[in-house]
Chains A and B, each alone.
With several copies, the nearest count.
Chain A
Amino acid sequence: HADNHKPGKGVTVQPAVATWTSAIPVSWVYIELLSDLGYEVEDPMSLQNPVAYLAMSEGDVDYWPNGWFPLHDPQLPDNADDTITIFDPLCSGCGLQGYLVNNEAIEKYDIEGIMDIADREEVRNAFDHDDDGKAELYGCPPGWGCHEGINAMIDKFELGDRIDHVDAGYSANFTEALSQIEEGNPTLYMTWGPSAWILKLVPGEDVSWINAPGIVEDENEKASGIDGAVTDPIEMGFVAADIQVAANNKFLEENPAAKELFKQAEIPLKWISQVDGKMSDEDLDDSEVQPLARKWIEENQDKVDKWLKAAREAAK
C-alpha cells in the first residue's frame, strides 16, 4: 500500500527551470508535487530555452513546466516530435504578449496602435531614436518565436521602411526601451508577462498595451479585460501563450504517475504573477520561493489531492 502511496520512490528526477522569474513558482509547485509522489527531485537546472529543450530531448533533463507555446515552437529541436511531449496547458492563455508604448507618448500623440506610429510621420519621427527615418521597435532576439511573429507582421503590412525591429538580446532591447522611456522619449517595445519586465514597466501605470494587426480575424478574438490596454478589447498582435509542461518521452513512459500529474495539474495566473511580484519586491532567492509553493499547495489541498490521486492511480 505504501508503494501505492509513493509511486515515484527510488526514481530521481532532473527538472529544468527557465531563466525568467515567473518560471520559479511554477517550477517549485511541480517539484513539491513530484516529491509528494515519492520522487527524488534534484535541484532544477537553470537553462536557456533551446538548451533546455535540447537537453530534454536527449534525456539529460526530464521535464520543465516552463514551456510557452506557440512562442517556443522555433526553439524545439528537430526531433522534438519523437522525444518530447508537451502537455495540456497548466495555465491557459497565461502568457500575455504584446506591444507597449509609454503613456506619455500615448497621450501626446493619441496612439491606439502600431499603425498610428507607422503611418503618421511626426509620430514615427518621435519614435525614431537613431535618425534612420524608422520608428524603433524593441522586439525579440533573432531566433525566438516572437521575433518571427513581429517580422511576420512587418512583412504582412509592409512596415519594413517605417518600423525598425531592433536585433539584439532581449535584456539589451528591454534595457534600451526602459532607458528611452526614462529619458522621456516615445518608445515602442514588445514584452510578455508574467515576467520581470512587466514589473519594471507596469502596464497601466507607466506604459500601455497598444493594438497591433495581424492575428485576429474578427472582433470576438480580441482580448478583453487586460490591465493597461489602450482600448478594450484590444488586438494584442500575438495569441496569448499557454504555459505548458514539456517532458522527455522516455521518462514519461517509465513514470506514468508523473505523466498523469503533468496532465492534471493547473496553476492560476494570478498566483504566479503575485509570487513573481513578491520575488521582485522582496528580492527573494529562488530557494525562498519554495515555501510559497508549499503554502499554495496547502491552500489548494483539495485540488492537489485529486491530481495526486489520479497520478497514483496511473502508476498502478
Chain B
Amino acid sequence: MNDLIPMLGGFLSDPFELFNIPIEEWVTQFVNWLVDTFRSFFRTYVSPPVKAVMESVQWLLTSTPPLIFLAVLFVIGWRSASWKVGLFAIIAFTIIGFMGLWDGLMVTLSLVITAVLFCLVIGIPIGILCSRKDLTYTILRPILDIMQTTPPFVYLVPAVMLFSIGNVPGLIATIIFAMPPTIRLTNLGIRQVPGQYTEAATAFGSTPRQILWKVQVPLALPTIMAGLNQTIMLALSMVVIAAIIGAGGLGLEVFQGLNRLDIGQAFVGGLGIVLLAMVLDRITQGLGDKAPGNRAGGDE
C-alpha cells in the first residue's frame, strides 16, 4: 500500500517506465526469418533482372561517346523545352565532365532515370487509383508516409541482406523514397479537376478510361508534373545514400569527401548532383509547361 503512492507518482510523471515493448527483438527475429526464407529467392529472381535493367541503361549511357551524348542531350532539352534548356544541359554536363566526374555522372544518371521510370510507371497508376476511391487513398496514405519517412538507414541493412550490395538495393531504396510525391500529386491533381468537365465527358458516354486520359490527366498535368519534379529531386537526394550501399556514382564522391573531411571532394560530387538536378528539372518543367491543362487557369 505504501509503495503504491510513489509508484503511482512515478507512473504519472513517467508512465513509460512500466515496461518496454521488446520490438527490437521481434524485428531482429523477423528480419532473420525473412532473410533466411527469401534471400535466395530475391537474390536469384529479383535482383538479377533489376540489375540487368539498370546495367543496360548504364551500359547505354557509359558506352555512348560523350560528344554524341551531349548532342542527344541538347536535342532532348530543345524538344522538351527550348534550345536554351538544351544549351544549359550541355554546359552543365560539360562542367561535370571537366570536373572529372563523367563516369560517376553516367552511373548516377542511370540510377536516377531507372528509379524515376519505376516511380512513374508504378506511381501514376496508383495515384489515379487513389483519386478514384477514397478508401484506397486512406489505406495508402500511411504507407506513403512510411515510404517517405522510414530512414533509409533502417532498411539498408536488410536490403543488403536480401539484394546484395550495389545498384539493386540502392535503386530500391531510391524508388521507395522518391515515389510518394508522384502518387500524392497525381491523386491531388485528378481530384482537383472541376466536376463540370468530367461530367461533360460522362454525358458523352466516355468510359472511365477515356475520362481519365482525355480529361482528367490532361487537366491535372501541371500538378502531376510537380509530383514528377519532386520525385526527381528526392531520387537525386538519395544518391548519396545509395552510394553507401555500393551504388557508386556521384554520391560516392560526396560520401568519401565527408568521411575524409575533404570538403572540396564532397562539394564537387554535390555540384554534379545539383547540376544534374537542374538539367532534369528544366527538361521536365518544359514538358509540364506544354501541358494543355495549363489553359485551365486562364480566364475562361
Contact = CB atoms under 8 A, between A and B. Distances in A.
Interface residues of A, number: 46
B245 A74 contact: no
Interface in A63-81: 74-78
Contact of B255 (A46, A58, A174, A200): A46
B143 to A, nearest CB: 25
A131 B157 CA distance: 23
Contacts of A19: 255-256, 259-260
Contacts of B164: 55, 58, 60, 129, 176, 179
B160 A172 contact: yes
B40 interface: yes
A61 B165 contact: yes
Interface stretch (A28-36, A161-169, A290-298): A161-169
Given A45-B246, A51-B156, A168 B165 contact: yes
Contact of A47 (B25, B35, B165): B165
A228 interface: no
A183 B43 CA distance: 10
A167 B248 contact: yes
A143 B264 CA distance: 13
Interface string A112-147: 000000000000000001100000001001111001
Contacts of A45: 165-166, 246, 248
Contacts of A200: 261
Contacts of B259: 19-20, 48, 50, 75, 141-144, 147, 171
A311 interface: no
A197 B260 CA distance: 8
Given A54-B261, A179-B164, A168 B39 contact: no
B65 to A, nearest CB: 22
B246 A76 contact: no
B24 interface: yes
Q: Which of B40, B160, B257 has the most CB of A within 10 A?
A: B160
A51 B244 contact: yes
A173 interface: yes
Contact of A166 (B39, B165, B257): B165
A51 B242 CA distance: 12
Interface in A195-214: 196-197, 200
A175 interface: yes
Interface of B: 24-25, 35, 39-40, 43, 156-157, 160-161, 164-166, 169, 243-246, 248, 252, 255-262, 264
28 contacts: A45-B165, A47-B246, A48-B259, A50-B157, A50-B260, A50-B261, A51-B156, A51-B160, A55-B160, A58-B161, A58-B165, A60-B164, A78-B261, A130-B166, A141-B255, A142-B252, A142-B255, A142-B256, A143-B258, A166-B246, A168-B245, A171-B261, A172-B156, A172-B246, A174-B261, A200-B261, A283-B25, A283-B264
Q: Which 4 A-B pairs rank lowest in CB-CB distance, beginning with the nearest?
A: A143-B259, A168-B246, A142-B256, A169-B244
